[in-house]
């Protein structure tokens, strides 16, 4: 089976988690606070969440948003949750064929979804098109190389790991090993400023980690965090030539 293939029927294993309001709210809050701590949260952002699932995480991502649009190839989860998603607007669409004008959003997110996309390069390229000058693209990626070892050890000890967890670990491995500072070497991300947000998320979740120098925490998080949070900031067009 190719490393980049994710079986459609495995999504049902984690659908219920996407409907958990408390969990979605907590995860969204951590991401929002991490962006603010890193100084990259846009003022009154127009947000697009690609692969939004139920839309609940988007619903709680900040409280100063001027627009929240979620899109997903599936609509059933959003339809089940829409009475709890507040101002989120939903559009059914594929990640590599987004029906939005160029530069429509200040923040485009793709959270725990990139692993499922068979052509992640085409999807990322279309996401970059939708980002306004000076705006952000935020992608989370499962730390497959780490989790494959953890899952193997857990099963050796008699535990059971869900097939969807194994799938995420397997298909994310090539993404984790890509040159992230250069945006996977995808031409559309050339020249964008890279920010590794994972250390900021960790500091928000574990305040005691603040005793570690940032460079140390950054290196540790690359190796030991089960999920990585990456941000690329689009040039505003006002940068001076050197």
Output the six-digit token pair for 119: 């052509």
Using DSSP's 3-state secondary structure scheme, residue 127 falls into helix
Confidence category of residue 239, pLDDT binned at 50, 70, 90: low
The secondary structure element, H or E, covering residue 185 is none
**Token representation of residue 141:** 């990626």
In the DSSP assignment, the letter for residue 137 is E
For residue range 155-201, list pLDDT tens digits in order.
999 999 999 999 899 888 888 876 777 788 899 999 999 999 999 99
Residue 130 contacts residue 98 (beta carbons within 8 Å): yes
> Tens digit of pLDDT for each residue in 128-150?
999 999 999 999 999 999 999 99
Domain ranges of the chain: 8-233
Its CATH architecture, for the domain 8-233, is 3-Layer(aba) Sandwich (3.40)
Residue 43 to residues 58, 217, 234, Cα–Cα distance (Å): 16, 28, 15
- Gap between the Cα atoms of 38 and 52, Å rounded: 23
With a threshold of 0.85, does the pTM exceed it? Answer: yes
């Amino acid at each position: 089976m190719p490393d980049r293939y994710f079986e459609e029927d495995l999504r049902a294993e984690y659908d219920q988690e996407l409907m958990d309001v408390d969990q979605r709210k907590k995860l969204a809050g951590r991401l929002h606070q991490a962006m603010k701590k890193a100084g990259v949260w846009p003022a009154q952002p127009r947000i697009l969440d690609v692969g939004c699932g139920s839309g609940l995480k988007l619903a709680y991502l900040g409280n100063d948003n001027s627009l929240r649009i979620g899109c997903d190839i599936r609509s059933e989860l959003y339809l089940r949750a829409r009475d709890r998603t507040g101002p989120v607007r939903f559009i059914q669409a594929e990640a590599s064929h987004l029906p939005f004008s160029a530069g429509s959003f200040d923040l485009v997110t793709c959270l725990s979804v990139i692993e499922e996309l068979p052509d992640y390069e085409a999807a990322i390229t279309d996401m970059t098109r939708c980002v306004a000058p000076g705006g952000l693209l935020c992608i989370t990626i499962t730390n497959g190389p780490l989790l494959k070892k953890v899952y193997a050890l857990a099963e050796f000890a008699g535990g059971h790991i869900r097939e969807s967890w194994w799938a995420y670990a397997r298909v994310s491995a090539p993404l984790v090993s890509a040159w992230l500072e250069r945006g996977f070497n995808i031409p559309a991300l050339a020249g964008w400023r890279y920010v590794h947000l994972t250390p900021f998320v960790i500091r928000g979740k574990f305040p005691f980690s603040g005793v570690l120098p940032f460079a140390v925490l950054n290196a540790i998080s690359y190796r030991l965090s089960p999920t990585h949070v990456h941000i690329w900031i689009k040039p505003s067009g006002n940068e001076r030539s050197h």
